[in-house]
């Protein structure tokens, strides 16, 4: 802490900030709500694994996801629907199969919120 001495011997201690002032980087309440919803979706280990698998491929067919995750087709379909509703993956139907891709813009928003 710095000390300034003024004429007459008066000392004034200068308080230095411990960090930068809070500014525009703080999330608005509505942004925090939206991000919290997306992070809640990812708080499930099965959904997080599914997103990880899809992110590491160009696209993934729902039929190919049961083995790596070790869950039944209905369970995988449910979790994929939750990821799709949250906007984290997109779905394209081809015949009787559904193919999933990550929505990079949506993941970028989550990454940015974490400072990455």
pLDDT digits (tens, 9 = 90+) for 53-62: 999 998 999 9
Q: Within a 10 A sphere around the Cβ of 47, how many other Cβ atoms?
A: 21
User: What pLDDT sits at residue 31?
Assistant: 86
Q: What pLDDT digit, counting tens, does each position of 4-59 carry?
A: 666 666 776 665 656 655 555 677 888 889 899 999 999 999 999 999 999 999 89
This prediction has a pTM of: 0.74
**CA dist., res. 14 & res. 67, Å (int):** 63
Q: Please provide the CATH number assigned to the domain covering 29-113.
A: 1.10.10.10
Q: Per-domain residue ranges for the chain? A: 29-113
Q: Is the pLDDT of residue 76 over 90?
A: yes
What is the three-class DSSP state of 27?
A: coil
Eight-state DSSP code of residue 86 = T
Degrees, nearest 5: CA angle 14-16-19: 165
């Amino acid at each position: 802490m710095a000390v300034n001495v003024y004429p007459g011997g008066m000392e004034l201690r200068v308080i230095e900030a411990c960090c930068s002032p809070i500014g525009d980087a703080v999330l608005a309440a509505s942004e925090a709500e939206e991000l919290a919803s997306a992070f809640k979706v990812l708080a499930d280990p099965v959904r997080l694994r599914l997103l990880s698998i899809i992110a590491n491929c160009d696209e993934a067919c729902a039929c190919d996801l049961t083995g790596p995750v070790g869950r039944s087709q209905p369970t995988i379909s449910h979790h994929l629907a939750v990821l799709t509703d949250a906007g984290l993956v997109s779905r394209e139907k081809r015949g009787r199969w559904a193919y999933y891709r990550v929505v990079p813009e949506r993941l970028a928003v989550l990454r940015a919120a974490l400072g990455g």
